[in-house]
Amino acid sequence: MIKKKLNIFIFQPYPKFGGADRSIIRIINANTNAKFTLISLVKCNYGKYLNKKINYIKLNANRTFYSIFELNKVVSRLIKNPQKNKNIFISNQNFANIITIFSLKNMNNLKIILIERNHLDELNNSKNFYDYIKKKIIFYLIKHTYKHANAVVGISKVLSTDLSKLIKKKVKVIYNPALDEKIYRNISDKITLSKNILKKKIILNVGFFENQKDQITILKAFKLLQIKFKNVHLILIGRGSLLKNLKNFVKYQNIEKNVSFLTSINNPAKYYKIADLFVLSSKYEGFGNVLVEALKNKCPVITSNCKAGPMEIIDNGKFGDYFNVGDHKDLNNKISRFFKNNFKLKKKTMNSKIHIQKFNLKNNKLAFDRLFNNV
């Protein structure tokens, strides 16, 4: 029997360079035998991170919901001869996954894989009443649409277990290959901090400045920390809609000289190396790539105990410390304990070396290869 060629479509409505994007890029780079088409609603600039050329299609829609009919039209046109090709459509994140099912579930000769990248707790966090209603609708639609996919993937065990219970369908666990550094091969960001800052103890956070990442909890904890520890500096690397709010808080609390916002860093590797401690404060996560990146660079980590990936990465405290979601006093206590005696947490960091190997590119590639063959 002749093995079919893979013709893979990836739907990522709003590509930037977050965790989901890095995982998509790694899937593309690792699979040398497939032809890839990236479909989005905005211009995508993955090119500089890829080791091959792929096709890009920008849909003529300003919202994912409005792309239903055009998505169907585009994919119908690009499906290749099913006798020689296996056509696979991969969608990422809940809103895109729902639209994918509405648009493509009845299409012949197409296998649909949905990847869920956030725990369902995402839908319990609302900014306002409109957002609350929207997330209730998404929750309902996940429950009734995901079962129509040929396969559903979750990026951590707890995420996959909880999602499987909701949709009453098996959800396959495939961890993000966060150990892979090849994606950064053409990116080298220099340390731009002053010598005075580099002499201090450095706390680091990396992530988008959005509600999910909850950096305000770190800032509140850091304000308390200043009472006991004067020689500490906080670095927040990222960009996002809440940057102004966070800066205003820092200014109001009069801690500006001890907090740095870095908004143009694409490769934070050098910052992990100079940091004494990494803190993740998310309200929810699918995985938590930055924790793996920190541990790889021998930087001790403290994370919120959010669902789902972070607690799996630190194995419920075996390879890092944790605090209750949104509890800045608990976080302050954990950071204070570290700066008083860092031996215990540093030892956990060194012991994580073998544990984090499960998050390598080889395992991720093998898992997706099996999925592509069996779907």
Bridge partner list, 42: none
CATH number at residue 42: 3.40.50.2000
The count of domains in the chain is 2
pLDDT, tens digit (0-9, with 9 covering 90-100), for 254-306: 999 999 999 999 889 999 999 999 999 999 999 999 999 999 999 999 999 99
Predicted structure pTM score: 0.94
pLDDT tens profile 127-167: 899 999 999 999 999 999 999 999 999 999 999 999 999 99
Closest CA to 5 of 33, 25, 26: 33
Q: pLDDT tens across 180-209, in order?
A: 988 887 777 889 899 999 999 999 999 999
Summarised one tens digit per residue, pLDDT across range 102-119 is: 999 999 999 999 999 999
Please, which residues have CB within 8 angstroms of residue 346's CB and are 6 or more apart in sequence?
Answer: 300
| Domain of 46, in residue numbers | 5-177+360-374
Residues 172 and 207 in one domain: no
Characterise 26 by phi-psi region: left (phi > 0), alpha (psi -120 to 50), beta (else).
alpha
Amino acid found at 138: I
| Domain identity same for 24 and 167 | yes
pLDDT in tens, 242-257: 999 999 999 999 999 9
Q: Residues 221, 316: one domain?
A: yes
Same domain, yes or no: 173 and 196 = no
* pLDDT higher than 80, residue 1: no
336, two tokens: 């204070």
Q: What is the mean pLDDT of the chain?
A: 95
Q: Based on the domain organization, do 62 and 194 belong to the same domain?
A: no
Per-residue pLDDT tens digits for 301-342? 999 999 999 999 999 999 999 999 999 999 999 999 999 999
Cα 347 to chain centroid, rounded: 26
| pLDDT of amino acid 2 | 57
Peptide bond between residue 308 and the one before it cis (omega within 30 degrees of 0): yes
Q: Which of 9, 114, 110 is nearest to 56 (CA)?
A: 9
H helices of 79-194, where?
94-104, 129-145, 157-167
